[in-house]
Amino acid sequence: MKDSILERVKQLFTDYLKEHGQRRTPERYAILAEIYSLDQHFDVESLFTRMLGLGHNVSRATVYNTLELLLECRLITKHQFGKNLSQYEKSFEYKQHDHLLCEDCERVVEFCDPRIQQIQSMMGDILQFNITHHALTLYGRCSLLAKGEHCTHYQEKRSLLK
């Protein structure tokens, strides 16, 4: 099933590259495959490191280049969660969704609410804009925590950092 999604995504990427006179290089497909093997958000550096770890001798420049192409054909989406660091996630066959961030452990939870689409189209009408997309992020902390306490994911996070 996973493979089937990967195959379909590769096909879409191929179509896009052909249509836009871009070359189908092994690096680009390797990056696409790696992204679709992940189930979390990622940043450029972690993807780059991961590629090296897998034995692919790609450069950061190629990673950035490929991410740009994947954004253009909507196979990934890009987020800025309030920091100067771009986060990405695969987006094929994923419902449009929004994010809730724990500012303690930086865990990201996804959610969906139809009212956001309503707001989007209503505001488009009122303000005379063709709205193409939106980004809603809720910021908070896991409930039940006293001030100074950390949520259960905090320690995991700490151990991940360096």
Partner DNA sequence: ATACCTGCAAAAGCTTTGCACAAGG
Partner DNA sequence: CCTTGTGCAAAGCTTTTGCAGGTAT
Residue 142 binds which entry of DNA, a copy of itself, none, with Cβ cut-offs from 5 to 8 Å by kind? a copy of itself
List Cβ neighbours of 101 (8 Å cut-off, separation of 6 or more). Answer: 81, 82, 107, 108, 109, 137, 138, 139, 140
Q: Which of 10, 12, 22, 33 binds DNA (CB under 7 A)?
A: 22
- Tokens, residue 158: 């700490």
Return the H-helix or E-strand segment holding 45: helix 44-53
141 binds a copy of itself (CB under 8 A): yes
Closest CA to 34 of 16, 17, 10, 11: 10
Of residues 108 and 145, the one with the C-beta less far from DNA: 108
70 HSE (CA, 13 A, CB side): 27
135 binds a copy of itself (CB under 8 A): yes
Of residues 17 and 116, the one with the C-beta less far from DNA: 17
Of residues 23 and 133, the one with the C-beta less far from a copy of itself: 133
98 binds DNA (CB under 7 A): no
- Cα–Cα distance for residue pair 8/16, rounded to 1 Å: 12
62 binds DNA (CB under 7 A): yes
- Cα–Cα distance for residue pair 158/105, rounded to 1 Å: 8
Contact 24, 16 (CB under 8 A): no
Residues 30-49 that bind DNA (CB under 7 A): 43-45
25 binds DNA (CB under 7 A): yes
123 binds a copy of itself (CB under 8 A): yes
- List interacting residues with a copy of itself (CB under 8 A): 78, 80-86, 100, 102-103, 109, 111, 113, 115-116, 118-120, 122-124, 126-145
- List interacting residues with DNA (CB under 7 A): 17, 21-28, 43-45, 56-62, 64-66, 68, 84-86
